[in-house]
Amino acid sequence: MTKLLQTTIAGSLPKPAWLAEPGQLWAPWRLEGDALAEGKRDAVRLVLADQERAGIDIVSDGEQTRRHFVTTFIEALDGVDFAHKRTVRIRNRYDADVPVVVGPVARRHPVFADDAKFLRGTTERKAKFTLPGPMTMVDTLYDGHYRSREKLAWAFAEILNDEARAIEAAGIDVIQFDEPAFNVYFDEVRDWGVATLERAAQGLACTTAVHICYGYGIKANVEWKKTLGSEWRQYEQTFPLLARSAIRQVSLECANSHVPIELVGLLDGKDVLVGAIDVATDRIESPQEVAATIRAALPFVPAERLYPCTNCGMVPLSRDVARGKLMALGAGAAIVRAELGLGR
């Protein structure tokens, strides 16, 4: 019998201090050359050990090989200038120095295929690999060439599909596209966001997933969340579109969230990755709290389609806190599994 309530994580985990400065997005590497390559792989080994010890069923490399979940991928592409960054407002929320698209974008070689092979060769568990989604890529740079978010998104979708196929060929079980921008630009999600996401995932035989969220626990996001009112109903517009899409899994935040839990019922037929770990606080959930979040979702998502997960990436947290939260996630899922008579 397939194990039910399999646990997984949204993607990133904090890096060791010897690899990159903790607590900082876009933190520069502290190693160079061969030492950096070896350091990244050692960091992947460490996060895999932490996940396995915590009982996480579908593990990730914790994005230990990337400085940032979007720009590291974009850096490998042609047509993008990283030397002369421009400041833009991203997710309508905070300013960041981002690369500039100066010509047609193209991918001349695989970007993460070697990382995916290393991940596959280093764990026996099911493995997930994350990529940015097309809309979130468009929203994390300055476009000086296409002058159209939609056109650029279609160009990125084709590139992402090539990359996803290379990652799938490495033996990865789940490829997840991160689309936090889906919670900001609802008209674009409807007009071309879901379509470009499906293009990025086209023809993949492995499980496909999309992660939508309200962002890391950084200050700009915490402030933004305060403006969203007492009930966050943004997913009400997006979920019916995703339910009709070819994407199989949807990851969202449910822990300490103002998202009415019944909205996950709009994802009929999809696997739902229920965020049961709040990444915006250093407080470590108890296993009972994690179990309560999972239980709250069960009336709307059958157990065979429910995957306990984190709300978002944990890269801004300390390693101790992230490890504690992984342990709580594994233990909380085990509580509910036992209650349902599904074995631990």
Site for Zn ion in 233-292 (CB under 5 A): none
312 part of the interface to Zn ion, by CB under 5 A: yes
Shortest distance (Å) from residue 211 CB to Zn ion: 6
- Please tell me the distance from the alpha carbon of residue 8 to that of residue 58, in angstroms, as a whole number: 5
Tell me which stretch binds Zn ion (CB under 5 A): 265-273, 304-312, 319-327, 329-337.
304-312
Q: Which of 99, 132 has the CB closer to Zn ion?
A: 132
Shortest distance (Å) from residue 102 CB to Zn ion: 29
**Binding Zn ion by CB under 5 A: which of 77, 160, 213, 284?**
213
Q: Which of 201, 210 has the CB closer to Zn ion?
A: 210
Per-residue binder mask for Zn ion (CB under 5 A), 163-202, x = binder: ----------------------------------------
Assess contact for 341 and 304: CB atoms under 8 A: no
Q: Which of 13, 213 has the CB closer to Zn ion?
A: 213
Shortest distance (Å) from residue 325 CB to Zn ion: 14
Residue 272 CB neighbour total at 10 angstroms: 22
Shortest distance (Å) from residue 213 CB to Zn ion: 3
Q: Which residue has the tokens 């060439």?
A: 145
Shortest distance (Å) from residue 66 CB to Zn ion: 15
Which tokens is 63 given?
């994005």
Q: Which of 93, 120 has the CB closer to Zn ion?
A: 93
Shortest distance (Å) from residue 222 CB to Zn ion: 14
Whose CA is closest to 308, among 341, 280, 337? 337
Tell me which stretch binds Zn ion (CB under 5 A): 91-99, 111-119, 205-213, 299-307.
205-213
How many binding residues for Zn ion (CB under 5 A)? 2
Shortest distance (Å) from residue 245 CB to Zn ion: 19
- Please tell me the distance from the alpha carbon of residue 298 to that of residue 84, in angstroms, as a whole number: 49
Positions in the binding site for Zn ion (CB under 5 A):
213, 312
